[in-house]
Amino acid sequence: RSLRPLRFKMMEGCKRWLNFGCARQPTISASYFHKYNPALIEESLAHIPSGERTKVMTSAGKTGTAQASILLAFWIVLSAQPNVIAQSLRFRPLGHPTANKVEAARKINELMFVEQRLYVGHGDWFKNTGPTDVIYYDFDKQEFVTEYTVDEEAIHRYRHYGSRLFLPGTDSTENGEYGNLYVRDASTWKKYRTIPRGLHVFDFAEFKGKWYVATGSYFGDIKTGPWIGAIYSSEDQATSWRYEYTTASAGRSVSRITSLMPYKNRLFAFGYTDGPMPRGSEPKLFPAGEDRQSNRVATSVVYDGDGWFSADLIPDTKLIQTIEPAVFADQLLLNVRVGRYGPDIPNEWQLFAHDGKSTRRVPLASDPIIDMLVKHDRLILLLEQQGKHVLSESSELVHWTNHVIDPEVKQPLSVEFDGTSYYLGLSDGTVLTATVPAD
């Protein structure tokens, strides 16, 4: 009923059964199942070459589903990628904290553990679903609790520094004259509506005694722009703010700074600009005669204590749209989306690691990198691979454990981990949990 990770000493036995030439991959560890799943067995057998599939089915014969699942597991061993162990997870519902919201507001954008509470971020700022409740799961009472309500169309991000929990106001339900920052301190939430022209406040960071916010701001009129990306700093804990950095402005462009990440005594910032591409830019990608294509182009800058400078971190990569950072194993990780921006245009997601001097690409077979979490000395990625969702984790960016998510789990958007269990936030407002199997 289960198959524990196997090493090379067992592969000769596999080879006698399936004759896949397993000696070509002597470092592979085995996948294992925690429960026989007929649909998964049949689906996976369909991907085995027809000649080998006949061997598997013939070998299984009438001996029952247990032997079929073992043989399938052996095939997975032989076809797996090096340095990857695959495991299945059994998710169960923790609850539906946004069930009473309008449909667009239900999706779970963010999950974060703070003080033994699982905080939930939900809503859709494109569809203006606010005001938005701050909700957390109480593990003692085993129920979701509404703690506070913010004047925002959605909650997309929490940041935790020291004893404080910060909530940047993604899109205020009020006018755009000021942007909002919400701070939970000593069990009490406080709203700071003090960020000038902070139309969208996307991120918060505490760095060398100051508070910083990343925003989508504007010059001139809020309705006509120009719209810029701006970083503000505060020396008095949000009572007042000053400009630290702004992007260039242009009439047909919209710029935003969306992420802040302290790393090795520097503050990195990332964002993007939506606007027309230069004439002749990447002509092979577009039909003849189209010379003013609109695209999304990533921005990255760094503050070294003296000033803000361009941060060209990613080598030899064109058409970078967005960059999402995290710090892991003393490296700055960059989740990079590459390709033309627009509906129905295929994109690629790449993961890079920057050590302060140079950047390398982390080998990763994935379509979207949906979420990226650093927790308990491990990196956890919520991935989509060939239409299926996977939780992939590593402690050193070399060896990976893939937790395959049941296909019945639809559209996971966010992940959290408490050391023993995973939590998933879905687009329909469901929060799921699964205990990590013991080795």
Tally the domains of the chain: 2
Residue 150 near residue 134 (C-beta atoms within 8 A): yes
Residue 289 half-sphere exposure toward CB, CA atoms < 13 A: 0
* CA 23 to chain CA mean position, Å: 36
Strands in 388-394's sheet, in edge-to-edge order, are 84-88, 400-404, 388-394, 378-385, 369-375
Domain assignment present for 111? no
Identify the domain boundary among 52, 82, 112: 82
Strands 84-88 and 400-404: parallel
Domain assignment present for 107? no
Identify the domain boundary among 31, 59, 82: 82
Strands in 164-168's sheet, in edge-to-edge order, are 159-161, 164-168, 178-185, 188-196
Q: For residue 346, what are its two tokens?
A: 């295929």
Fill in the amino acid letter for 268.
F
Say whether both 426 and 284 belong to one domain.
Answer: yes
Say whether both 297 and 189 belong to one domain.
Answer: yes
Say whether both 66 and 195 belong to one domain.
Answer: no
Residue 47 near residue 25 (C-beta atoms within 8 A): no
Say whether both 268 and 318 belong to one domain.
Answer: yes
pLDDT at residue 83, as a whole number: 72
At CA 334, angle to CA 333 and CA 337, rounded to 5? Answer: 155
Domain assignment present for 101? no
Q: Which residues pair with 249 in a beta bridge?
A: none
Residue 257 near residue 179 (C-beta atoms within 8 A): no
* CA 299 to chain CA mean position, Å: 19
Q: For residue 167, what are its two tokens?
A: 């909530």
Q: What is the dihedral of CA 351, 354, 358, 363, to 10 degrees?
A: -30
Which is nearest to 160 in space by CA: 188, 187, 184, 133?
A: 184
Residue 339 near residue 348 (C-beta atoms within 8 A): yes
Residue 259 near residue 325 (C-beta atoms within 8 A): yes
Strands 388-394 and 400-404: antiparallel
Domain assignment present for 3? no
Q: Which residues pair with 254 in a beta bridge?
A: 227, 274
Which residue matches tokens 């989509």?
Answer: 384
pLDDT at residue 40, as a whole number: 41
**Residues listed for the chain:** 439
Identify the domain boundary among 82, 106, 129: 82
Domain assignment present for 90? no
> What pTM, to 2 d.p., does this model score?
0.80
Say whether both 72 and 165 belong to one domain.
Answer: no
Domain assignment present for 207? yes
Q: Which residues pair with 416 in a beta bridge?
A: 423
pLDDT at residue 304, as a whole number: 94
Start-to-end CA distance of the chain, whole Å, equals 15
Looking up residue 356, the CATH number of its domain turns out to be 2.120.10.80
Say whether both 415 and 353 belong to one domain.
Answer: yes
d(CA 311, CA 11): 47
Domain assignment present for 304? yes
Say whether both 252 and 342 belong to one domain.
Answer: yes
Range of the domain at 70: 8-82
Going from the C-alpha of 200 to that of each of 86, 126, 156, 217, 276, the distances in angstroms are 40, 12, 11, 7, 22
Q: From the first residue on, what is the mean pLDDT of each consecutive set of 10 residues in the chain (439 residues)?
A: 36 39 33 37 45 42 45 42 72 97 98 97 97 98 98 98 98 96 97 98 98 97 92 98 94 93 98 78 51 79 96 90 97 95 87 97 88 95 91 94 92 96 98 87
Say whether both 391 and 342 belong to one domain.
Answer: yes
- What is the full DSSP assignment across 294-313? EEEEEEEEEE-SS-EEE---
d(CA 132, CA 110): 13
Say whether both 178 and 49 belong to one domain.
Answer: no
At CA 12, angle to CA 7 and CA 15, rounded to 5? Answer: 115
Say whether both 127 and 58 belong to one domain.
Answer: no
Element at 175 (helix H, strand E): none
Domain assignment present for 371? yes
Say whether both 76 and 129 belong to one domain.
Answer: no
Say whether both 37 and 175 belong to one domain.
Answer: no
